[in-house]
Structure 1
Amino acid sequence: MESKRSKYVLISLTVFCILLIGLTSIRDTWLTPLRTGVGYVLIPVQSGVNSVGSAIYGEITDLSKLHSAQKENKEMKDIITQLTEENTRLQSEELELNRLRKLYGLDQQYGQYEKVGARVIANDSSNWFQVFRIDKGSKDGIAVNMNVMAGGGLVGIVTDVGANYATVRSIIDDSSRVSSMAMQSGDSCIVAGDLTLFKEGRLRITNVLKDSDLKNGDKIVTSNISSVFLPGLLVGYAADITNDSNNVTKSGYLVPAAEFDSLQEVLVITKLKSEMMKEETSQETTSAETQATESASQ
């Protein structure tokens, strides 16, 4: 009986295994087309999702890089702006230093005269410094008829004075007349202001005697006979000297030593020609009296 039961169990297990094998074969046969169909649907979707995800990630990465680049660009622009401002400041300081060096050289060249440095604070509406104002006035010892120099030569003369300012009429003004002479020969002449002519960078030289030795390139300085300009101040250089039609005098042009389109600092000579003339007269009187006393004692 027991052996018969074991036989049935064995048969039952054998049948169960065969059924399992059959079911497995049937499931694979049915599921394979299903898996294939699902693959056709899901794989493109998955590829699309992956592409969209990659694109979104790329956009986010590019956006992050763009923000970073914009930040760096702004920082570089700030640095460039700062360096540009610094460079401009240094160039301005260098130009100012060069101008002050020229003024210092001018001060040393005319060391016999006391001077006051001043800055140009305003000028007339023209392109040239025909009439301009400086930031020094009567409280600084400035007075009418004081001579003004800059850029290596004579600029003009003080015509009006306030407590804190003074007005200067330059030698290029149409009404300006400067009694001058050639440094080399001593021949006298008049330097006449002419704004129209100065557009060519020149002034006019007149009243030169025909027999004078004044020639092109001669230094023209203020003469001793001027009533307001101190003697020996460089005005400019003679050019194109020719005989006049009257066959009695010569005339020509003068290239000014100073630059009248960019005046910023000037030197004002605080000694007046009238004071100098009084001193010379006093010295001559004293000398004459001394000589008379010595003659009388003899």
Structure 2
Amino acid sequence: MKTNKPNKQKKFESKYWLLAIAVICVVCMGASFFADIKSGPLRVIADYTVIPMQKGINMIGTWIGDVGENFATLKEVQKENEKLKEQNETLKMENSQLQQKSVELDRFYELYKMDQNTSDYPKVGARVIANNGSNWFTSFIIDKGSEDGIREDMNVLSGSGLVGIVTEVRKHSSTVRSIIDEVNVSAMVMTTFDQCIVSGDLKLINDGVIKFEQLPNNDNEVAVGEQIVTSNISSKYLQGLLIGYVSDVKVDSNNLTRSGYIIPAVDFKKLQEVMVITTTKQDLIDNGNQQ
């Protein structure tokens, strides 16, 4: 039968050795505090036992203290980071709102200038609340109706020029048909008063232009950039409303007329606010004040 006495003896001896070392360390540490160990064998022993232990303990204490401070600092940094993230999101939202307001102010300023340029006509502002579902505002609905004095055939403006005409009126809303929706508008060259016809074309508007034709081929020059406005003989549109700017002009094959293309004064992709002239061409005719 095997015995484990040698193992127990080894463990017993190890305990005594550890105890002896511990006692020596304690004695040396005590000696470092209560005795002068500047020289002699005690100094040598202290150099190899007590002082390294003290240094190790100091290093461990310093490390633990640094870890605690770093942990506390990390917590503070994390909290500060969360606050900064929240502030950043708030600033982003406020910046977005300011940009929207800036764009809106620009649109209102354009309407204000249009109001000043057409001050002879009474007007009411309105917002676009729906369109026909296409990319272009060929037909759309505004938030003003008969209760606001809106009637059929009233001219509608936006930005710098003519948008279209009211075609249907309800109590609190109205439908507007744009001049790009295959509509013919009697127009004229701003500087020469030569008459022409502006025709809406849904295919051409994809290229950013509308067509004009039947302009007399006379000695009056029509340059690129020339303004085309509604004419005095238009049956439904008031005189002098800006339609757009000539981008191209050529002589027709009959050599009697000219035709070309116009860049509209209005962006028919981004209509949001409009102004409705609250008088019609027929009103002016009935009052004997045809424009």
TM-score by length of 1: 0.74
Name the CA distance, whole Å, in 1 between partners of 2:72 and 2:272: 52
Name the CA distance, whole Å, in 2 between partners of 1:136 and 1:119: 8
Note the alpha carbon deviations across 1:23-68, whole angstroms, 9 max, x for none.
xxxxxxxxx99x96x9989988877766555444433322211110
Task: Give, in angstroms, the shift of residue 114 of structure 1.
Answer: 0.8
Note the alpha carbon deviations across 1:74-96, whole angstroms, 9 max, x for none.
22222223333333333322322
Task: Give, in angstroms, the shift of residue 243 of structure 1.
Answer: 0.9
Corresponding position of 1:252: 260
Corresponding position of 1:146: 154
Note the alpha carbon deviations across 1:173-192, whole angstroms, 9 max, x for none.
2x221110112111111111
Task: Give, in angstroms, the shift of residue 110 of structure 1.
Answer: 1.1
Corresponding position of 1:119: 127
Task: Give, in angstroms, the shift of residue 234 of structure 1.
Answer: 1.1
Partner of residue 176 from structure 2, selected from 145, 168, 172 = 168
Corresponding position of 1:86: 94
Q: Which has the larger radius of gyration?
A: 1
Partner of residue 189 from structure 1, selected from 184, 196, 204 = 196
> CA 1:214–1:128 in structure 2 vs 1: closer, same or farther (change >3 Å)?
farther
Corresponding position of 1:287: none
- 1:215-226 to structure 2, matched below 5 A, reads 215-216=222-223, 217-226=225-234
Instruction: Please tell me whether the aligned partners of residues 147 and 268 of structure 1 are also in contact (alpha carbons under 8 angstroms).
Output: yes
Number of residue-to-residue matches in the alignment: 248
> CA 1:116–1:64 in structure 2 vs 1: closer, same or farther (change >3 Å)?
same
Is the aligned partner of 1:95 residue 2:92?
no
Is the aligned partner of 1:276 residue 2:287?
no
SS in 1 for 2:203: helix
Q: Which amino acid aligns with 2:213?
A: T
Name the CA distance, whole Å, in 1 between partners of 2:68 and 2:253: 89
Is the aligned partner of 1:210 residue 2:220?
no
Q: Which amino acid aligns with 1:62?
A: N
Is the aligned partner of 1:234 residue 2:242?
yes
Corresponding position of 2:5: none
Corresponding position of 2:112: 104
Name the CA distance, whole Å, in 2 between partners of 1:260 and 1:56: 70
Corresponding position of 1:179: 186
Corresponding position of 2:141: 133
Q: Which amino acid aligns with 1:93?
A: K
Task: Give, in angstroms, the shift of residue 244 of structure 1.
Answer: 1.5
Q: Which amino acid aligns with 1:207?
A: Q
Q: Which amino acid aligns with 1:268?
A: V
Instruction: Please tell me whether the aligned partners of residues 137 and 164 of structure 1 are also in contact (alpha carbons under 8 angstroms).
Output: yes
Note the alpha carbon deviations across 1:92-118, whole angstroms, 9 max, x for none.
223222222221221121111111111
SS in 2 for 1:72: helix
SS in 1 for 2:283: helix
Which 10-residue stretch deviates more, 204-213 or 46-55? 46-55
Name the CA distance, whole Å, in 2 between partners of 1:181 and 1:215: 11
Which 10-residue stretch deviates more, 107-116 or 125-134? 125-134
Instruction: Please tell me whether the aligned partners of residues 187 and 212 of structure 1 are also in contact (alpha carbons under 8 angstroms).
Output: no
Q: Which amino acid aligns with 2:120?
A: Q
5+ residue gaps in structure 2?
A: 1-40
Instruction: Please tell me whether the aligned partners of residues 116 and 269 of structure 1 are also in contact (alpha carbons under 8 angstroms).
Output: yes
Sequence identity (%): 47
